[in-house]
Amino acid sequence: MTMCMAASRVGSVSPAHMDLLADVGLELADKNDWSELEAWISGFG
């Protein structure tokens, strides 16, 4: 996951990486696991 988040900062990232990131974010939101979701979002900073 960390590698995908780092790759998302690069302009040449494949759509598959972005799909994976979106899926994980939605999964965390569905679980109402806000602390984990906040940590996931903070990883982009």
Predicted TM-score (pTM) of the model is 0.55
**Is 39 within 8 Å of 25 (Cβ atoms)?**
no
Amino acid letter, residue 19: D
Q: What's the token pair of residue 13? A: 């990232």
pLDDT for 25 equals 82
pLDDT for 42 equals 81
pLDDT for 23 equals 87
Closest to 23 (Cα-Cα) out of 7, 4, 39: 4
2's CB contacts (< 8 A; 6+ apart) are 43
Q: Over the stretch 4-45, which tens digit does the pLDDT of each residue have?
A: 667 667 666 677 777 887 888 888 888 887 888 888 778 765
**Is 19 within 8 Å of 7 (Cβ atoms)?**
no
